[in-house]
Amino acid sequence: MPIYIHNTLTNRKEEFVPQVEGKVRIYSCGLTVQGYAHIGHIRGAVLFDVIRRFFRKKGYEVIYVQNFTDIDDKIIAKAKHEGVSPASLAEYYISAYLQDEEEMGIMQADYNPRATHHIKEIIEVVEALIRKGCAYVVDGDVYFSVASFPSYGKLSKRSLDEMMIGARVEVDERKRDPRDFALWKSAKEGEPYWESPWGKGRPGWHIECSVMSIKYLGVPLDIHAGGQDLIFPHHENEIAQSEAFTGQTFARYWLHWAPVNLKGEKMAKSTGNVFIVREALKQFSPQALRLYLLSSHYRSPIDFDGEKVEEMERALERAREAEEKVDIALKGTADYSERIVELPDFGVYREQFYSALEDDFNTPRAIASYFSLVSEVGRVIDDFLPKPPTSVLLPLWSAKKLIQELKWVLGIEERRGGKEGRGIEGFVELLIKVRDKLRKQKLYELADEIRSGLGTLGIVLEDHPGGTIWRMGK
RNA sequence: GGCGGCGUAGCCAAGAGGUAAGGCAGCGGUCUGCAAAACCGUUAUACCCCGGUUCGAUUCCGGGCGCCGCCUCCA
């Protein structure tokens, strides 16, 4: 089935046709690394993690680039304030961010290019733009001339006149046009710099993304993404520079996700109204956090609500319960009678799941079909949990595979805090056996002591007709 | 002021021109030595207001009210 993507450029859903068949090339604007990542940042990363997994399941080869802008005014200011070099400050926050991503179960990008590693290429592109008459030099600064790019404003749907009115911030008299933006900024005293044909300086914002996306993905690339707040001016400027430079379409599909608000206002570093990822991970499991962020469509803003994340925690718990029951059924003794039990067709949920994602990555709908599947499985399995008839084993096994597949796409597989890799399974199972014998002898006091004792250690026991199961609690 | 978006049950959140997914919460029940979980039922005649188009609109169009984002660094 075709995939539809809402394209900011046209403001409508369009069928996605990759430039090169079977291959998707994605550039997602990463952070300016001057602090820890907050929930708003990670929303986009989680979204694209699912999008990449989805494309892979659909048989596409995916190349995903997420950059780091590791030099800018704020980084310089903060580094100065803390008495460290801008480079080491940036590196610190880059590794912190990558760590956050890993904790969140986000697959690594194919490339994480940094602005400062591409100075040479940036200078080349700026030189080319000057040669083409699209940029000009003033006192060691280089500006892009917006007037030289007639379709400027096509992404953010702003006419040049409107922007003239809007340009009310202190106008730099040296610019030919107030809307012109810096490609290269000369270094002031004490600022880090690189040598260039225009003197010592550093790249402006915007240009690094053009250069790196073209370098790693070519033009036109398939999907260029970022938060909605990047539409203007960042992406608008990227289009201008890139298309003026290459003479070709820069990106074919522009995808922008909505902000995460906190207490009704946008979460943003500049206002201090933030909830950082590493703080959130102290309170919530990465799975619940992911599911929460994916439970609204990416183009709708979210007002972050920790209670809702806890609700997701409970929903996941229930889903795990159903999976456990399937495991018990598959492991237990089958009922070898001729009893034929017809199970519903679980395959419909698979179709629902993927068709939801095909429709502009509708993760809320995909999640709904995941939960429907899990509920349905949990419901039918209750009828025969002690001894499943043999007729049911194969469908049950494929249901389990399906559950695992959908979880993988959503990225909510258990990775930490699970049973595996802790080396305690043997002990717990031994205790469960002992407790079982105690229960049979009606020595409930001792049995309960074992259960509550394990509970203190974070291990939850649940007695089912088919036997006792255990899991890691909170 | 300009551009864009949103307003669905107690809360969160999908959605189609023909009366509406999923999650959580509450209540009642089944099961259980107890507990927990699960399951069943229920809250649910839920679509901001007013016009218009239509056999029929919550879904399309116009207006109103409310909320939000961008227009300046920002994911």
Note whether A334 and A440 are same-domain residues.
no
Residues 6+ apart with CB under 8 A from A141: A174, A182, A184, A185, A186, A198, A201
Nucleotide nearest to A40 (CA to C1'): B75
Note whether A103 and A236 are same-domain residues.
yes
Note whether A387 and A451 are same-domain residues.
no
Note whether A211 and A355 are same-domain residues.
no
Give the alpha-carbon dihedral of A118, A145, A151, A221, to 10 degrees. -10
Note whether A24 and A122 are same-domain residues.
yes
Note whether A104 and A11 are same-domain residues.
yes
A175 CB inside 7 Å of strand B: no
Specify the CATH number for the domain of residue A380.
1.20.120.640
| pLDDT at residue number A425 | 77
Distance from residue A11's CA to nucleotide B52's C1', rounded to whole Å: 26
A204 CB inside 7 Å of strand B: no
Measured distance CA(A358)–CA(A350) in Å, rounded: 12
Indicate the range of A208-212, A334-338, A398-402 predicted with least confidence: A334-338
User: Taking the C1' atom of B12, which residue's CA lies nearest?
Assistant: A308
| pLDDT at residue number A422 | 57
Number of domains in chain A: 3
**Is residue A247 in some structural domain?**
yes
A169 CB inside 7 Å of strand B: yes
Task: Determine what percent of chain A is predicted with pLDDT higher than 70.
Answer: 92
pLDDT tens by residue, A356-384: 999 999 999 999 999 999 999 988 887 77
| pLDDT at residue number A166 | 46
pLDDT tens by residue, A216-247: 999 999 999 999 999 999 999 999 999 999 99
Looking at per-residue confidence, does A81 or A470 come out higher? A81
Residues 6+ apart with CB under 8 A from A99: none
Distance from residue A462's CA to nucleotide B29's C1', rounded to whole Å: 21
**Is residue A100 in some structural domain?**
yes
Backbone angles phi, psi at A106, to 5 degrees: -90, 130
| pLDDT at residue number A333 | 65
| pLDDT at residue number A206 | 95
A170 CB inside 7 Å of strand B: no
pLDDT tens by residue, A16-42: 999 999 999 999 999 999 999 999 999
Given A251, A283, A315, the domain boundary residue is A283
A203: left (phi over 0), alpha (psi -120 to 50) or beta: beta
A469 contacts A321 by C-beta, under 8 angstroms: no
Specify the CATH number for the domain of residue A38.
3.40.50.620
| pLDDT at residue number A208 | 96
Note whether A225 and A344 are same-domain residues.
no
| pLDDT at residue number A390 | 81
Max mean pLDDT range (A323-327, A348-352, A385-389)? A348-352
Distance from residue A227's CA to nucleotide B64's C1', rounded to whole Å: 32
Task: Determine what percent of chain A is predicted with pLDDT higher than 90.
Answer: 67
**Is residue A136 in some structural domain?**
no
Average pLDDT over residues A429-437: 90
| pLDDT at residue number A163 | 59
Measured distance CA(A128)–CA(A44) in Å, rounded: 33
Average pLDDT over residues A403-432: 79
| Residues 416-455 on chain A lying near strand B, CB distance under 7 A | 439, 444, 447-448, 451
The interface predicted TM-score of the complex, written ipTM, equals 0.93
**Is residue A176 in some structural domain?**
no
**Is residue A363 in some structural domain?**
yes
Residues 6+ apart with CB under 8 A from A85: A79, A192
**Is residue A322 in some structural domain?**
yes
| pLDDT at residue number A167 | 47
From the list A157, A296, A288, the residue with the least C-alpha distance to A231 is A157
pLDDT tens by residue, A109-135: 999 999 999 999 999 999 999 999 999
**Is residue A296 in some structural domain?**
no
Given A410, A436, A459, the domain boundary residue is A410
- Whether the pLDDT of residue A168 is over 50: the answer is no
Average pLDDT over residues A139-153: 92
Chain B: bases < 7 Å from a protein Cβ:
1-6, 11-15, 21-25, 31-40, 67-75
Q: Which amino acid is at A189?
A: E
A128 CB inside 7 Å of strand B: no
pLDDT tens by residue, A294-303: 999 999 999 9
Note whether A259 and A341 are same-domain residues.
no
Note whether A257 and A355 are same-domain residues.
no
Note whether A406 and A461 are same-domain residues.
no
Note whether A354 and A265 are same-domain residues.
no
pLDDT tens by residue, A246-280: 999 999 999 999 999 987 777 877 677 789 999 99
In the structure encoding, which two tokens stand for residue A58, read together? 């659909």
Given A359, A387, A410, the domain boundary residue is A410
Q: Are strands A302-303 and A265-266 parallel, antiparallel or unpaired?
A: unpaired
Residues 6+ apart with CB under 8 A from A106: A42, A45, A46, A49, A411
**Is residue A459 in some structural domain?**
yes
What range does the domain containing A248 cover?
4-129+206-283
User: Taking the C1' atom of B39, which residue's CA lies nearest?
Assistant: A379
A305 CB inside 7 Å of strand B: yes
Note whether A221 and A91 are same-domain residues.
yes
